[in-house]
C-alpha cells in the first residue's frame, strides 16, 4: 500500500502504531501520524460524549455561523490542501479543486438542511393543532470515510454531525489521513468550546471497528464503503449482539442496545444513450463520468448501454474522447488520471479484464498498466470493454466486470435493441446508486424516469453532479437502509408531542 502503511515501531520500550503517509506518485514519505489504539479511541469517545448536552442546547444559527467560518478557512488554505490531497491521494489537482469547492459551498449554505428537521406543528383530522414533531440528535456519531475523497466526505460527516448537534469521531481512511488531520487541526485552532465534542480517529479499520461496535456510547454509525464490507460490518455487529445475551431470567435478553447504521455503498451506474442526441457531446460527458479520478468514484458511470442504431458511431466518438484523456503526474493541471489508490485496485482491474475475455469480450482500448513494482506510481490505462448484451441478462452468470463495481479506469459497453432492452440491461444489477440517460423523445424520457431502478436519475445532463442539494445513497446494494439520503436528516430522531393543556387544563386542575 502506498499510503497509510501501518507499521509497528518501538518507542521507549513499548509498541506504538504509526501511519506512514507516502506520495502516491513518487513514493516519497511525506508524514508520519501516530495511530490510535483501542484504548485511545475509547478515551476519545468518552471525551466527546461529555459535550453532548452542551451541543444539543447550543443555538443552531450559531452552529451554522461557525461552519461558515470553517468554509472561509478552508478556502484560505486551498492551495496547501490541494497539494496534500494530490500527494497522499494521487488525485489530479483539478479534481482536488472540485473536492474543496464541495466543502466550501456545503458549509457556506448548510442551513439549507434545516428544511428536513425543523419542528413541525401538526393539524389533526378535526382541525386542531395540539401536536407537533420535534427533532433531536441521536448522540455520539462515528463517521468512517473512504480514501478516494480525502476532504469532502470526512468534512461532510463532520459538518452534518455539528449542524445537528451530535458529538462525532471521524475516521478518515488510513490510506489518506493527512488532509483531514490538517483540517481538523485548523478547526481546533479556531477556539470553539463546542469543538471539544469532536475527534479524529487515525486507526486501521478493523481495530477501530471493534471499538465502535462494542462501545455503548456510540449511537450512530455512518460509513461509506463497499457493499461487501458493509455486510461484513453488520455480521460482526450481529455476532457482538449475540455475545451480549443474558440468560439469567430464563429467556435470552440482549443487553447491548441497537445502533443506528447508515451505509452508502458501491455503485455500478449505467449510462443509456438513445438515438437523436448529440453523439460527440454525450461521448465527452460520458468519458468524464467514467474516468475522472481514474474511475475511483462510487457514482462513476461504469456500464454504458447504447442503442443499436447509433452504436458504431457512438463507439467511434467514445474512443476519440478516451484518446484525449491524459494520464500522469497529478500535480500537472492538465492531467485527468493520476496513480491508482492501491496495488489491490491494479490487480482487480486486471482480473476484471481477463475474466471478461473468457466470455469473448472485446477490448476496444487500454488493458495496459504501469507497474513500478512498488506501492506507488501505479497506473492502469483507460480501458473500454465491449460485452455482448446476451451475456448481461442472467446476472449471476454474467462477466465480473458487469456484475460488480469496477473501482478503477475499466468500463464496459454493450448494445441495446431498443429503449426497453436498454432499461432492462441497466436494471440488471445488484446496485442502484445512479442512472444516467440521454434521449430526445419526450415519451422515452418519461419512460426512463419511471422505469430506471436507481436512487438518483439524471436525464440529459452532465453526470457526477454534486452539490448540497443532491442526496447520496441509492437502492439495492448501494445503500442501507435503501433510498437516497441527506445525512443531517439521518442524524436526528423525531419526537411526537401532543399537548392538550389549553383544552383540558381546567378539567385536570
Residue 22 lies in a domain: no
pLDDT tens across 31-71, in order?
999 999 999 999 999 999 999 999 999 999 999 999 999 99
Name which of 278-287, 403-412, 462-471 the model is least confident about. 462-471
| Interatomic CA distance for residues 37 and 207, integer angstroms | 8
Main-chain dihedrals φ then ψ at residue 386, nearest 5 degrees: -90, 125
Is the predicted pLDDT of residue 20 greater than 80, yes or no? yes
pLDDT tens across 323-335, in order?
999 999 999 999 9
Residue 27 lies in a domain: no
pLDDT band at 372 (very low <50, low <70, confident <90, very high): very high
Q: Which of 205, 195, 212, 93 is nearest to 142 (CA)?
A: 212
Q: Is 125 helix (H, G, I), strand (E, B) or coil?
A: coil
pTM of the complete model beyond 0.85: yes
Residue 456 lies in a domain: yes
Please enumerate in sequence order all residues whose Cβ is within 8 A of that of 114, keeping only pairs 6 or more positions apart, or say none.
Answer: 60
pLDDT tens across 145-171, in order?
998 999 999 999 999 999 999 999 999
pLDDT band at 365 (very low <50, low <70, confident <90, very high): very high
Assess whether 352 and 214 both reside in one domain: no
- Which ranges in 270-388 belong to alpha helices (H)? 279-291, 311-323, 343-358
Q: State the average pLDDT over residues 117-121.
A: 95
pLDDT tens across 249-262, in order?
889 999 999 999 99
For the record, the C-alpha cell of 315 comes out as 463507439
What CATH number did the domain enclosing 424 receive?
Answer: 3.40.309.10
Assess whether 117 and 74 both reside in one domain: yes
Q: What is the per-residue pLDDT for 6? A: 40
Residue 305 pairs in a beta bridge with 272, 414
| Interatomic CA distance for residues 86 and 95, integer angstroms | 9
| Interatomic CA distance for residues 500 and 348, integer angstroms | 62
Assess whether 333 and 427 both reside in one domain: yes
Q: State the average pLDDT over residues 8-14.
A: 36
Assess whether 241 and 260 both reside in one domain: yes
What CATH number did the domain enclosing 205 receive?
Answer: 3.40.605.10
Number of domains in the chain: 2
Distance of CA 458 to the CA centre of its chain: 18
Is the predicted pLDDT of residue 412 greater than 90, yes or no? yes
Assess whether 185 and 299 both reside in one domain: no
Distance of CA 37 to the CA centre of its chain: 25
Q: What is the per-residue pLDDT for 197? A: 98
* Residue 467 domain boundaries: 269-471
Assess whether 256 and 337 both reside in one domain: no
Residue 359 lies in a domain: yes
Q: State the average pLDDT over residues 267-294.
A: 96
Q: Which of 113, 107, 96, 41 is nearest to 69 (CA)?
A: 107
Assess whether 229 and 291 both reside in one domain: no
Q: What is the per-residue pLDDT for 467? A: 84
pLDDT band at 1 (very low <50, low <70, confident <90, very high): very low
Residue 237 lies in a domain: yes
| Interatomic CA distance for residues 317 and 323, integer angstroms | 10
E-strand ranges in 41-139 read 120-122, 131-137
User: Which residue, chain included where needed, has cell 463497499?
Assistant: 226
Assess whether 110 and 87 both reside in one domain: yes
Residue 12 lies in a domain: no
Is the predicted pLDDT of residue 293 greater than 60, yes or no? yes
Is the predicted pLDDT of residue 440 greater than 60, yes or no? yes
Residue 414 lies in a domain: yes
| Interatomic CA distance for residues 78 and 33, integer angstroms | 22
Assess whether 115 and 204 both reside in one domain: yes
Is the predicted pLDDT of residue 15 greater than 60, yes or no? no
Residue 8 lies in a domain: no
**Average pLDDT score over the chain:** 93
Is the predicted pLDDT of residue 9 greater than 50, yes or no? no
Assess whether 87 and 200 both reside in one domain: yes
Is the predicted pLDDT of residue 16 greater than 90, yes or no? no
pLDDT band at 464 (very low <50, low <70, confident <90, very high): confident
Main-chain dihedrals φ then ψ at residue 15, nearest 5 degrees: -85, 135
Assess whether 204 and 304 both reside in one domain: no
Assess whether 374 and 409 both reside in one domain: yes
Amino acid at each position: 500500500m502506498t499510503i497509510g502503511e501501518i507499521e509497528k515501531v518501538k518507542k521507549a520500550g513499548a509498541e506504538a502504531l504509526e501511519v506512514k503517509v507516502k506520495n502516491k506518485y513518487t513514493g516519497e514519505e511525506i508524514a508520519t501520524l501516530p495511530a490510535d489504539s483501542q484504548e485511545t479511541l475509547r478515551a476519545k469517545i468518552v471525551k466527546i460524549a461529555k459535550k453532548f448536552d452542551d451541543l444539543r442546547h447550543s443555538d443552531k444559527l450559531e452552529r451554522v455561523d461557525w461552519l461558515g467560518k470553517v468554509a472561509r478557512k478552508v478556502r484560505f488554505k486551498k492551495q496547501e490542501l490541494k497539494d496534500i490531497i494530490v500527494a497522499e491521494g494521487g488525485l489530479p489537482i483539478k479534481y482536488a479543486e472540485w473536492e474543496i469547492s464541495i466543502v466550501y459551498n456545503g458549509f457556506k449554505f448548510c442551513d439549507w438542511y434545516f428544511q428536513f428537521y425543523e419542528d413541525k406543528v401538526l393539524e389533526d383530522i378535526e382541525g386542531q393543532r395540539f401536536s407537533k414533531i420535534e427533532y433531536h440528535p441521536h448522540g455520539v456519531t462515528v463517521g468512517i470515510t473512504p480514501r478516494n475523497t480525502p476532504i469532502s466526505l470526512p468534512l461532510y460527516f463532520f459538518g452534518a454531525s455539528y449542524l445537528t448537534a451530535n458529538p462525532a469521531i471521524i475516521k478518515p481512511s488510513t490510506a489518506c489521513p493527512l488532509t483531514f488531520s490538517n483540517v481538523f487541526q485548523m478547526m481546533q485552532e479556531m477556539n470553539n468550546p463546542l469543538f471539544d465534542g469532536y475527534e479524529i480517529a487515525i486507526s486501521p479499520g478493523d481495530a477501530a471497528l471493534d471499538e465502535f461496535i462494542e462501545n455503548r456510547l456510540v449511537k450512530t454509525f455512518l460509513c461509506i464503503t463497499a457493499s461487501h464490507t458493509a455486510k461484513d460490518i453488520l455480521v460482526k455487529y450481529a455476532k457482538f449482539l449475540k455475545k451480549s445475551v443474558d440468560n439469567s431470567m430464563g429467556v435470552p435478553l440482549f443487553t447491548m442496545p441497537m445502533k443506528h447504521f447508515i451505509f452508502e455503498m458501491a455503485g455500478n451506474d449505467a449510462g443509456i444513450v438513445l438515438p437523436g442526441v448529440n453523439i460527440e457531446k454525450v461521448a465527452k460527458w460520458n468519458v468524464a463520468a467514467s474516468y475522472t479520478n481514474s474511475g475511483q468514484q462510487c457514482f462513476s458511470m461504469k456500464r454504458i448501454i447504447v442503442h443499436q442504431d447509433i452504436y458504431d458511431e457512438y463507439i467511434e466518438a467514445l474512443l476519440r474522447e478516451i484518446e484525449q484523456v491524459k494520464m500522469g503526474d497529478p500535480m500537472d493541471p492538465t492531467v485527468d488520471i493520476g496513480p491508482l489508490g492501491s496495488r489491490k485496485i491494479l490487480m482487480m482491474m486486471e482480473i476484471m479484464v481477463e475474466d471478461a475475455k473468457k466470455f469473448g469480450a472485446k477490448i476496444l482500448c487500454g488493458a495496459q498498466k504501469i507497474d513500478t513494482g512498488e506501492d506507488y506510481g501505479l497506473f492502469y490505462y483507460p480501458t473500454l470493454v465491449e460485452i455482448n448484451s446476451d451475456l448481461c441478462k442472467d446476472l449471476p452468470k454474467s462477466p465480473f466486470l458487469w456484475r460488480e463495481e469496477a473501482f478503477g479506469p475499466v468500463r464496459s459497453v454493450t448494445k441495446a435493441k431498443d429503449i426497453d432492452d436498454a432499461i432492462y440491461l441497466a436494471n440488471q444489477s445488484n446496485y442502484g446508486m445512479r442512472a444516467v440517460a440521454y434521449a430526445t423523445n419526450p415519451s422515452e424520457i418519461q419512460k426512463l424516469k419511471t422505469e430506471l431502478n436507481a436512487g438518483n436519475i439524471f436525464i440529459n445532463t452532465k453526470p457526477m453532479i454534486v452539490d448540497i442539494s443532491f442526496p447520496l445513497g441509492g437502492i439495492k446494494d448501494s445503500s442501507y437502509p435503501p433510498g437516497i439520503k441527506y445525512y443531517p436528516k439521518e442524524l436526528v430522531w423525531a419526537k411526537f408531542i401532543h399537548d392538550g393543556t389549553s383544552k383540558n387544563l381546567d378539567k385536570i386542575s
